[in-house]
């Protein structure tokens, strides 16, 4: 069963509930954490027969706001939908948790309730980014840690390498360090020091990379701090939308070409992925975009279900 934070995200609870219902119709088993009456009324408004899909409603009367201070929110709001959803994972009542809510609070709750993996100091948000050949590159950290030390980035590389090997069957995944140039001497002090750590490790470290590594899939993993990773992710999303808008308003493309390009862009839309994994914690935690709509929530729940059942590569 997948635990869902119904009150998390910019479009909660309406879009979250709609996404849950869409996933439930596909056979995903979901526990909905939120104010019980609100959840039941919302589901009934969407589909009067919602109870036929096996959705479980768990009363969580409180809510963590998007602008709440993470540690304070987790400590003080123990009956919030976010904290109770994560707690269900600790208690092994659910196999994964999905939330589009306050990502800082989600990380704090996961660290406090689930604990860190051995040898890991910080958790990182890891997501698959598209490349031109249809393959995907696992990038981290995408926003959990804006201030990092070299050992943190080294641990992110360890987590990502282990994840791709154990769950996706990638043998000796290639690890690259995001920088402003591929030369070993390029980058900030953080990048330079991390480069030395990775170079002396047993990981398959191939050196520094620039963002174009996404285009040709020249690496399997891109490692960076959360500030750079979040900027990379949002720049990529914005670029897709900008290009799509330019194509639609141009007089130089036929309708067929416009439709084809639109489909290609839709294929790399973050909503299709749904969410990113929080690596480094003892449990399956899926972090969704705060702007997630019903489609994104549905896909995040379906992805979480595959992770729990071991069908990672589908």
pLDDT of residue 289: 87
Q: Are 109 and 215 spatial neighbours (Cβ–Cβ below 8 Å)?
A: no
Beta-strand ranges (E) seen in the chain are 2-5, 30-34, 56-59, 96-99, 124-130, 136-140, 174-178, 204-209, 221-223, 275-279, 285-288
pLDDT of residue 261: 62
Under the banding of pLDDT at 50, 70 and 90, the label for residue 44 is very high
Please tell me the predicted confidence (pLDDT) of residue 264: 59
pLDDT recorded at residue 167: 86
Q: Is 3:83 a contact under the CB 8 Å cutoff?
A: no
What one-character-per-residue DSSP string does 256-307 give? HHHHHHHHHHHHT-HHHH-EEEEETBSS-EEEEPTT--HHHHHHHHHHHHHH
pLDDT at 268 over 60: no
Domain 1-115+281-314 CATH class label: alpha beta
Question: What is the distance in angstroms between the CA of the first residue and the CA of the last residue of the chain?
Answer: 19
Residue 162: the pLDDT is 93
Q: Around Cβ 65, how many Cβ atoms within 10 Å?
A: 14
For the beta carbon of residue 191, count every other beta carbon within 10 angstroms.
23
Tell me the average pLDDT across 276-298.
93
What is the pLDDT averaged over residues 180-209? 93
What residues contact 201, with CB distance under 8 A and at least 6 apart? 154, 157
Q: Is the pLDDT of residue 22 over 80?
A: yes
Residue 311 pLDDT greater than 60, yes or no: no
Q: Give the confidence band of 314 by pLDDT, cuts at 50, 70, 90.
A: very low
The two structure tokens encoding residue 46 = 């969407």
Q: Which pair of structure tokens corresponds to residue 273?
A: 């992925």
What was the pLDDT predicted at 313?
44
Mean pLDDT of 18-38: 97
Model confidence pLDDT, tens digit, residues 215-227? 788 899 999 999 9
pLDDT at 241: 73
At 23, is the pLDDT very low, low, confident or very high (cuts 50, 70, 90)? very high
pLDDT confidence bin for 197, thresholds 50/70/90:
very high
Asked if residue 221 lies in contact with residue 137, where contact means CB atoms within 8 angstroms, the answer is yes
Q: What angle do CA 231, 122, 2 make, to 5 degrees?
A: 85
pLDDT tens digits, 59-114: 999 999 999 999 999 999 999 999 999 999 999 999 999 999 998 999 999 999 99
- Give me 177's structure tokens: 């360090």
The whole-number pLDDT of residue 279 equals 94
Q: In which band, very low, low, confident or very high, does the pLDDT at 257 lie, cut at 50, 70 and 90?
A: low
> Where are the CATH 3.40.718.10 domain residues in the chain?
1-115+281-314, 124-272
Total-model pTM = 0.87
Say if residue 294's pLDDT is above 70. Answer: yes
In terms of pLDDT, which residue wins out, 309 or 59?
59
- pLDDT above 90 covers a percentage of the chain that reads 68
Distances (CA, A) of 139 to 128, 157, 300, 314: 6, 10, 17, 19
Average pLDDT, the chain: 89
Query: Taking residues 7-26, what's their average pLDDT?
Result: 96
Distance CA 61, CA 66 (A): 16
Q: What is the CATH topology of the domain spanning 124-272?
A: Isopropylmalate Dehydrogenase (3.40.718)
């Amino acid at each position: 069963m997948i635990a869902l934070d119904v009150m998390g995200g910019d479009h909660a609870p309406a879009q979250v509930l709609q996404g849950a219902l869409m996933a439930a119709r596909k056979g995903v088993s979901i526990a909905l954490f939120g104010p019980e009456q609100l959840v039941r009324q919302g589901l009934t408004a969407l589909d009067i027969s919602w109870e036929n899909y096996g959705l479980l409603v768990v009363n969580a009367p409180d809510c963590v706001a998007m602008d709440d201070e993470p540690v304070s929110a987790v400590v003080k709001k123990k009956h919030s939908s976010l904290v109770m959803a994560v707690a269900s994972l600790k208690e092994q009542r659910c196999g994964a948790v999905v939330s589009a809510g306050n990502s800082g609070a989600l990380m704090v709750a996961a660290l406090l309730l689930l604990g860190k993996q051995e040898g890991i100091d910080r958790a990182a948000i890891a997501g698959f980014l598209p490349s031109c050949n249809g393959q995907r590159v696992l990038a981290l950290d995408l926003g959990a840690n804006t201030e990092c030390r070299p050992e943190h980035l080294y641990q992110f590389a360890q987590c990502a390498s282990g994840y791709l090997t154990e769950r996706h069957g990638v043998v000796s995944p290639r690890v690259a360090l995001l920088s402003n140039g591929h030369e070993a001497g390029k980058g900030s002090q953080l990048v330079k020091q991390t480069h030395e750590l990775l170079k002396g490790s047993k990981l398959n470290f191939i050196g520094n990379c620039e963002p174009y590594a996404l285009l040709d899939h020249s690496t399997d993993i891109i490692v960076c701090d959360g500030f750079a990773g979040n900027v990379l992710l949002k720049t990529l999303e914005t670029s897709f939308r900008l290009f799509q808008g330019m194509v639609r308003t141009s007089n130089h493309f036929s309708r067929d070409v416009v439709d084809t390009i639109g489909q290609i862009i839709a294929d790399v839309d973050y909503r299709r992925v749904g969410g990113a994994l929080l690596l480094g914690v003892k449990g399956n935690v899926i972090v969704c975009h705060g702007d997630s709509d019903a489609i994104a929530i549905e896909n995040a729940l379906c992805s979480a279900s595959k992770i729990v059942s071991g069908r990672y590569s589908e």
